[in-house]
Amino acid sequence: MKLSAFKLTAAVLALSVGATTASAEDQWYPFKVMDATNGVENRAEAAYTPLEKAEKPLNICVLFPHLKDSIWLAINYGIAKEAERLGVNMTLFEAGGYANLPRQLAQFDDCLAGGYDAIVAGVISEGGLAQKLKEANEAGIPVVAVLNVIAEAPIAGRVYPDIPDMTKVSAEFMAGMLDGAEGKVVTFPGPAGSGWAELFNDHFKGDIAAHENVEVIGERFGDSGVAVQLGLIQDALQSYPEMNAMYGGAPAVEAAVGALAAAGKYDFVMVPAYENDAIHFMVESGELPGFVTQYPVAQGRVALDMAVRAVEGSLTMNFVNPIPEAVDSETLKATDKSVAIAAPKGFSATYQVNISN
């Protein structure tokens, strides 16, 4: 028996029409975004078009919280491919998890001291990196945020999803799946203190509250690794026997499959807050009817291009949100995932791109 019986509403299905296709992976642009350069309240749909080539082989430092989740592998792929296309050098440091803020702080110091021209940062938390971001600004080293929010610090560029856009669609997903039945929901948003996990959680709870038949009865924060999420889900199943639905990060949904089967819970609704390879497989195999993509490969490509533009002085569109779109099994089959959604099968993490001078 399938673990969820997801019903896509007409509004959600309409979103899937814009799934990106291309015959060559480097032809990923123009990429449809919401341009927030003039403020979030003034966002407008736009097409992001990158440079053809960098003026010279710059050195770009990249910081990730980890590579345990394939969404970061997808961003890594996008950054590496764009570095190759533009002709710049790239070095990636990953901290090993959201609990490892001291390691990311040390890695940021390595970026500042290592002669890099710019930094692309997937931060563990904005608050935790605030001083380092200030130091980079004072040193004239542009920083571009990717995937994880940097809302306040003075940085050169930003590319990450608008979380309220995503949670609104996710709440509609859940309401459609429940189809008027009573929903008792526990959320598994991710690591406390990251900033983005709290945003996903708060906005989802606000959106789902519009549906009187659905109640959020608990929440469990924790590192985004599958093993940690599995423990949180097992604990929640014990604490909330009435729980019949969950909203959470992709690793939480991935971990839930075995936990729900072991608990004998088959009539259960799962809504992923975002995607990874496991979510793609579950959609392809019919275990989930769909997910909302935030185009992680394209985010990596845009972030790398922004970093180069910031150094060269040509960065004008400096804050963009990918437009979340619903992808079901049919549109996923028709989509060249490596263009914008996922790293291709067999891709291994790329820590260095070296371009000959």
Please write the tens of the pLDDT for every residue from 249-258.
Answer: 999 999 999 9
Check residue 22 and give its pLDDT. Answer: 36
Check residue 357 and give its pLDDT. Answer: 60
Residue at token pair 């990311």? 104
Tell me the CATH class for 163-273.
alpha beta
Span 172-199, pLDDT tens digits: 989 998 999 999 999 999 999 998 999 9
Q: Percent of the chain at pLDDT above 90?
A: 78
Alpha helices, H only, 139-249: 163-178, 196-208, 226-239
User: What residue spans define the domains of the chain?
Assistant: 19-161+295-323+344-353, 163-273
Check residue 180 and give its pLDDT. Answer: 96
Q: Residue 127: how many CB atoms within 10 A of its CB?
A: 14
Check residue 331 and give its pLDDT. Answer: 84
d(CA 339, CA 66): 22
pLDDT band at residue 18 under the 50/70/90 scheme: very low
pLDDT band at residue 8 under the 50/70/90 scheme: very low
Range 19-161+295-323+344-353 has CATH code 3.40.50.2300 = yes
| Residue 176 token pair | 């459609």
d(CA 131, CA 145): 15
Check residue 291 and give its pLDDT. Answer: 87
Question: Helix, strand, or coil here: 79?
Answer: helix
Q: Percent of the chain at pLDDT above 70?
A: 92
d(CA 86, CA 285): 37
Check residue 24 and give its pLDDT. Answer: 54
Span 120-136, pLDDT tens digits: 999 999 999 999 999 99
Distances (CA, A) of 113 to 61, 89, 117, 309, 351: 11, 16, 11, 21, 18
207's CB contacts (< 8 A; 6+ apart) are 164, 167, 168, 170, 171
- Of residues 21 and 257, more confidently modeled: 257
Check residue 148 and give its pLDDT. Answer: 95
Distances (CA, A) of 229 to 208, 296, 311: 22, 22, 39
Q: Residue 32: how many CB atoms within 10 A of its CB?
A: 18
Q: Which of 296-310, 326-340, 341-355 has the lowest mean pLDDT?
A: 326-340
Estimate the share of the chain in helix, then strand, then coil, as percent rounded to the nearest 5: 40, 20, 40
Span 200-214, pLDDT tens digits: 999 999 999 999 999
pLDDT band at residue 25 under the 50/70/90 scheme: low
Is it the case that residue 13 has pLDDT exceeding 70?
no
My answer on whether omega of the bond before 30 falls inside 30° of 0, hence cis, is yes
Residue spans of beta strands (DSSP E) within the chain: 31-35, 44-48, 59-64, 89-94, 118-121, 143-146, 157-159, 183-188, 214-219, 245-248, 269-272, 290-293, 319-322, 325-328, 352-353
Check residue 97 and give its pLDDT. Answer: 94
Q: Do domains 19-161+295-323+344-353 and 163-273 have the same CATH topology?
A: yes
Span 56-102, pLDDT tens digits: 999 999 999 999 889 999 999 999 999 999 999 999 999 999 999 99
Q: What is the average pLDDT value for the chain, to the nearest integer?
A: 90
CA angle (143 as vertex; 223, 32 as ends), nearest 5: 80
